[in-house]
Amino acid sequence: MAKAIAEAGLAAVYSYAGRTEAPMGQPIHMRVGGFGGVEGLCAYLDDQAITHVVDATHPFAAQMSTNAVAACTAANVPLIALERAPWIAGEGDHWTSVADIAAAVAALAGPPKRVFLAIGRQHLERFAAQPQHSYLLRLVDAPTEPLPLLLAEVIVARGPFDVVGDSAVMHDHGTEIIVAKNAGGKGAVAKIAAARALGLPVVMIERPAVPPRQVARSVDAVMAWLSHSARLGE
């Protein structure tokens, strides 16, 4: 998205939440950090004379998306969400779909297993309620504090990943079950395809609800929206 905006010669800013220690560089101006809720985001939109907002946050960043809808509505700034289509279970998949993190924790009740906990670093402490398992974690940044899980192995890596690599990781760890968020897209789907190939069950955490907003499934669709809005003077 940032590359397309840069190539189109549009003035833009790329905002990172700041959860990753070394965010990837972008071809447009970058800022890192929060805005201070809806009020702070409204002030930012006004101070920077922002005319359009593209919400390209992770599908599970529900609070940011909710704040963006509220702020853009209040500031009368057009907003579109660039959102990956969710994964859909197909032939050979063995999913248990759950509504949230709490339900995913509950789904792990039972005898000890080797779990690939592929949810990032947030919410790890919630799974301490199931301490009987041996967890494999894949994180973008190395932990700087002790992990909340008694039995845990960490792999530090940044995607996109491939099926061969993820199959090897699961095989080497002796993985018996995967816990994943339904992030959608191609960058993280390898673990789902690997689970299918290996016949492993997946606890799939479905996306949180966000307020209604216009949604695009591709960069091209967002660029078309930006072009159309500019012609209309929105």
What pLDDT, on the 0 to 100 scale, is given for residue 231?
A: 52
The pLDDT value recorded for residue 81 is 98
Crossing angle of helices 163-173/190-198, nearest 10°? 60
Please report, in tens digits, the pLDDT of each residue of the chain (234 residues total).
999 999 999 999 999 887 666 677 899 999 998 999 999 999 999 999 999 999 999 999 999 999 999 999 999 999 999 999 999 999 999 999 999 999 999 999 999 999 999 998 889 999 999 999 999 999 988 998 899 999 999 999 988 899 999 999 999 999 999 999 999 988 889 999 999 999 999 999 999 999 999 999 999 999 999 998 755 445
Residues recorded for the chain: 234
Instruction: Show the domains of the chain with their CATH numbers.
Output: 2-84+210-232 (3.40.50), 95-205 (3.40.50)
- Cα–Cα distance for residue pair 52/38, rounded to 1 Å: 16
Within 10 angstroms of residue 46's Cβ, the number of other Cβ atoms is: 12
Whole-model pTM: value is 0.87
Q: What is d(CA 5, CA 219) in angstroms, rounded to the nearest whole number?
A: 9
